[in-house]
Amino acid sequence: MKFDGATAIVTGAGQGIGAALARALAARGVRVLVSDLSQDLAIRIADEIGGVPHDGDLCDPTVIAAMIDLANAKFGKVDMLFSNAGFALGEPDGPTSCPDSHWQKSWDLHVMAHLRASRLLVPQMVSRGSGVLVNVASAAGVLSQIGDAAYSATKHAAVSLAQSLAIEHGADGVHVAVVCPLYVATPLLGYDDPATIRAPGVISAEDVADSTLTGVAEGRFMIFPHPDAQTFFAQRAADTDRWMSGMTRLRARVLEQTDGTDPAVIHRFI
């Protein structure tokens, strides 16, 4: 994949991994549309990198259509989509305590937003014989996140959707990739200040962005910015029952020593 001169949309690009991706793409000569729920954050990053700002809630299909129309109007075409927007609220009392509204928003943002954008972009990419669709999922999409079933389930679905897109459109020249980071020093994990001392195994958003673009350049489907995540994935596949027992013990250990199963707490036990 040649980056210089290409165009891209990055969602959830106002901070964290999305902002790091937008900066890394711009540094490689890519023209970037910076999309975020926050107008102020979208404008700030777009101004920094010379990109195009867009704001709105990607749970709304009309917002997605407007985002792609804006990118096409500004760039003439969209070469790459990086679906990064996401959220995690957690569920202190287990999966059944999570309200339908949380499940629905997780589904709309983690799965349907990428599908709806792909639905509009794939025909254009197929007609050109080239294009890149990247979904920044999570290691929770191949393992599981203790304390947030809605996040884990929809990230699993995001990985499955990426597999289907790759199988169906790989022969059309559309490269599909899914990124599965483990723990990253972003506001989602409680690292509002990048200078905060990180727990062992926590990497920076910039590390994720560099790993992602390297993986895309190499034509990889599954991108693991954390080597540990790929190891855990293989261990789970090799002996799922043993893996589940280990996760149950980990949850018990976390609850013995803390007040809950928030990811900002759990990641310090991995």
Structure tokens at 92: 């202190």
Q: Give the list of residues 6+ apart from residue 192 with CB closer than 8 angstroms, or none.
A: none
Quick check: helix, strand or coil at residue 218?
coil
151 is catalytic: yes
CA atoms within 13 A on the CB side of 22: 33
Taken in order 27, 28, 30, 32, the sign of the CA dihedral is negative
- Distance CA(261)–CA(161), nearest Å, equals 28
What residue type is 120 in one-letter code? Answer: L
What residue type is 183 in one-letter code? Answer: Y
Catalytic, out of 151, 191, 232, 233: 151
What is the Cα gyration radius of the chain? Answer: 18
Starting at the edge strand that comes first in sequence, how are the strands of the sheet with 52-55 ordered? 52-55, 31-36, 7-10, 80-83, 131-136, 174-179, 222-223
Question: How many residues does the structure list for the chain?
Answer: 270
Task: Please check whether residue 113 is in contact with residue 63, taking contact to mean a CB–CB distance below 8 angstroms.
Answer: no
Structure tokens at 203: 């990497």
Q: How far is CA 71 from CA 44, 64, 78, 112, in A?
A: 18, 11, 7, 19
**Residues carrying an active site annotation:** 151
